[in-house]
Structure 1
Amino acid sequence: MDINNLSTKQLLKLPNPLFCGGIEAYNNERELCLSLDKKKNNNYHKYLSSLKNKSSYINYLPIKLDIENVSRCNFRCKMCQVSEWKNGKRADDMIIEAFQHLIDEQYGAVEIKLQGMGEPLLGGETYFKMVEYARSKHIWVRTVTNASLLHKDKYYKRIIDADVNEIQISIDGADKKTFEGIRCRGLFEKVVENCILINSYCEKKGIERTKMWVVLQQDNQHQLFEFIQLAKHMKFKSMVFSLDLGNWGQEYWAKKNEIQKAAPITLDIGHKLIGLGLEAGIKVFFWFGSSKYSYQNLCPWPFERVYISSDLRVVPCCIIANPDVYNLGSAMSITETWNNKEYTKFRQTHLDGNIPKICHSCYIE
């Protein structure tokens, strides 16, 4: 996406996704999390103090974590790097003891995304224990799922009862042909059925925990308006159109997904989608996953957030999401890795305006 283009700049005015339950719910949970741990509270205020004067060496721990509990998937989505991994798997699953160690040692975290490259519900019982452990410390937990397993052993209830804060559910087709053509090995009818199950359960409990997430691309852009009606049918209260395809920090995927990119939508279409959503009782948002940073507005990841792979390696961000592509060190001790030679050099290149090549796709040219 060319952010220097006038029409693109106008599109950036469209609403970005909000936290499930709203920003007030998120802020309240964060304040509760901070109030329960003096070290965490001190760490967070050190982070706030650093925002106006960033440094390559940081005197606080990251405040957000992306934790990949599994690096394997039962789908082979055509725009995802997992689709070309052998048997759809890169490494072994993270064990619960490793997760608990991460949460305990990395006392700075107020928010985690529990998912990486793969379907987190494949982790089964261990996954639910991870959610429960983080929530016991009032850490805000967001996760992502393809919804294929929500019916299994009533997972749709288990994940909600574990008190997860937000679930992004990936829906990239408004009918069977389109959905299964993009999300290969997925069964459209089962995913729809499972979304109704989890959203009906949330409705029964009087809470909102899910977002329908659509990655717009050539093969589904003709269904732009149909997604609204599908979201209504599946009882979603909120949905997001993602307007970028990632490249996973790899030239191969950059070329492949460039071909699959959808034609840019117009501001008028964006407003029409919002209006149709309102009529259907659905909040509609838009996400620009890349091309949003500049030398004056640096990517926040190197300064506040860590991506931890299932085999306990540290990756710069969720756009790369693969330690075999870029590895900053071991996650066995975040306190050491966070300021090791590789990490401080990585930050300094950003501060100097020499943005690493692997990060170029997220920066304005």
Structure 2
Amino acid sequence: MKAKKNSPVNKGHSFDLETKDRIDAFKRKISKGWEEEYNEYRNLWEELPKNRTVRDYPLLVDLETVSRCNLSCPMCPTVTQEFLDKRVLPFKRGQMDLNLAKKIIDEVAGKIYSLRLSWIGEPTLHSKLIEIAKYAKGKKIKEISFLTNGYKLHLEYFKKLVDAGVDLITVSIDGMDEVYNKIRKPLKFDETLKKLTDIANFKQKNNLEKPLIKIQGVWPAVKENPERFYNTFKPLVDLIAFNPLIDYLHKDQDIIYEDNFACPQHYQRIVIGSNGMAAMCSSDDFMDIDIGDANKSSIHDIWHGKLFSNVRNKHEQKDGFKEIKPCKNCFYPRKMEESESALINGREVKIESYINRSQEVGK
């Protein structure tokens, strides 16, 4: 009897606090002008892993413009010496070369749907981020986005992002007031709130929809008062989300995995680190698995190369992912459970967490 194949499980999403109307409005705004292609993109995101189809190019390319960060959030891998030693100190203080970024954009333009200009570090530390974003939009890439801690997101910088054609900015907001200040130091909650207020007022005054602004925070920081969190930011941003606390520091021992797990990311996206090395997924924070070098090879060759194919094949084997260190430590294979619920303006929001996972920041 033929063994049952492992099943790719899509877990790479944040959990929102939103109403259906606001989610629909967000999708309508982000897809404006490319509605048919957007729907195709989102359908392929689900279908390619199910069918184990390796498209000619990935759907999404993550360009890690910067690997270093200016904060020291206690749940983040950037605070570890291992990360500094492997991912920052060996090359140009963790900043991607401008010519390499343009070379990659030239290759993938017209072949991918989305370009994300961030991974683990803080992208606004890159001195040429605006230029890279503008270059990519000039090459007609449909969706340009990045994640940021918001430290540089003052109004004048935001205006430059508007001019560059950025479509979506996700800002990490871990709680409010002193909870935020403690996690996100040296940033201050009131200052970050003012930045988002200024941006919202500017967008409204100039009748702008983009860049869309999404915020997300780790659930332990939000759970103190999720309704206040939601109502504070609802007038200012387009989408409000949260994430269960992920074990990025790899402290957990008693881990329970999904049955017959295979990762979907290997059919959806490719990540290029700030030094040009390719990562097999967005969860290989320390880039332990070598799948290629964009300084020497094309994205196409890396995507279809033997090293990446070996990773996909390993995931087809029963418990094969456990033989790959970053995969075994990853949050994707971990089972989740409905741990609690929150009440947001009369709406019940179900909260899921990883089984046997501490939901205390820094643990």
TM-score by length of 1: 0.71
Distance 1:20 1:346, change over 3 A: farther
- Could you tell me which amino acid in structure 1 is paired with residue 34 of structure 2? E
Higher relative contact order, chain-length normalized (CA < 8 Å, sep 6+) = 2
**Structure 1 CA distance for aligned equivalents of residues 44 and 204 of structure 2:** 39
- Could you tell me which amino acid in structure 2 is paired with residue 185 of structure 1? P
Deviation at 1:121, TM superposition (A): 0.9
**Structure 1 CA distance for aligned equivalents of residues 264 and 259 of structure 2:** 11
Secondary structure of the residue aligned to 1:310 is: coil
What corresponds to 2:303 in structure 1? 338
Confirm or deny that 1:306 pairs with 2:234: no
Alignment of 1:38-57 (within 5 A): 53-54=51-52
Distance 1:349 1:251, change over 3 A: same
Query: CA-atom RMSD, angstroms?
Result: 3.7
Conserved in 2, the CA contact under 8 Å of 1:307 and 1:321? no
What corresponds to 1:216 in structure 2? 219
What corresponds to 2:347 in structure 1? none
Distance 1:327 1:183, change over 3 A: farther
Unaligned runs of 5+ in 2: 1-14, 336-363
Count how many residue pairs are aligned between Structure 1 and Structure 2: 302
Deviation at 1:354, TM superposition (A): 3.2
CA deviations on 1:266-290 (whole Å, 9 max, x unpaired) are xxxxxxxxxxxxxxxxxxxxxxxx9
- Could you tell me which amino acid in structure 2 is paired with residue 312 of structure 1? G
- Selected match of 1:26 from 31, 37, 47: 31
Q: Percent of counterpart pairs with the same letter?
A: 23
**Structure 2 CA distance for aligned equivalents of residues 99 and 19 of structure 1:** 33
Alignment of 1:134-149 (within 5 A): 134-136=136-138, 137-149=140-152
What corresponds to 2:189 in structure 1? 188
What corresponds to 2:245 in structure 1? 245
CA deviations on 1:326-358 (whole Å, 9 max, x unpaired) are 332212322222222221110011223334233
**Structure 1 CA distance for aligned equivalents of residues 285 and 143 of structure 2:** 21
**Structure 2 CA distance for aligned equivalents of residues 341 and 130 of structure 1:** 30
Conserved in 2, the CA contact under 8 Å of 1:131 and 1:163? yes
- Could you tell me which amino acid in structure 2 is paired with residue 172 of structure 1? D
- Selected match of 2:123 from 120, 124, 131: 120
Unaligned runs of 5+ in 1: 1-10, 34-40, 259-289
Conserved in 1, the CA contact under 8 Å of 2:143 and 2:167? yes
**Structure 1 CA distance for aligned equivalents of residues 43 and 334 of structure 2:** 30
- Could you tell me which amino acid in structure 1 is paired with residue 303 of structure 2? W
**Structure 1 CA distance for aligned equivalents of residues 55 and 241 of structure 2:** 35
CA deviations on 1:37-81 (whole Å, 9 max, x unpaired) are xxxx9x9999999666426xx461212111110111111111111
Deviation at 1:230, TM superposition (A): 2.5
What corresponds to 1:261 in structure 2? none
**Structure 2 CA distance for aligned equivalents of residues 50 and 150 of structure 1:** 35
Distance 1:237 1:15, change over 3 A: closer
Conserved in 2, the CA contact under 8 Å of 1:19 and 1:166? no
**Structure 1 CA distance for aligned equivalents of residues 88 and 315 of structure 2:** 32
What corresponds to 1:60 in structure 2? 56
Secondary structure of the residue aligned to 2:153 is: coil
Distance 1:132 1:346, change over 3 A: same
- Selected match of 2:166 from 164, 167, 173: 164
Conserved in 2, the CA contact under 8 Å of 1:160 and 1:202? no
Distance 1:193 1:46, change over 3 A: closer
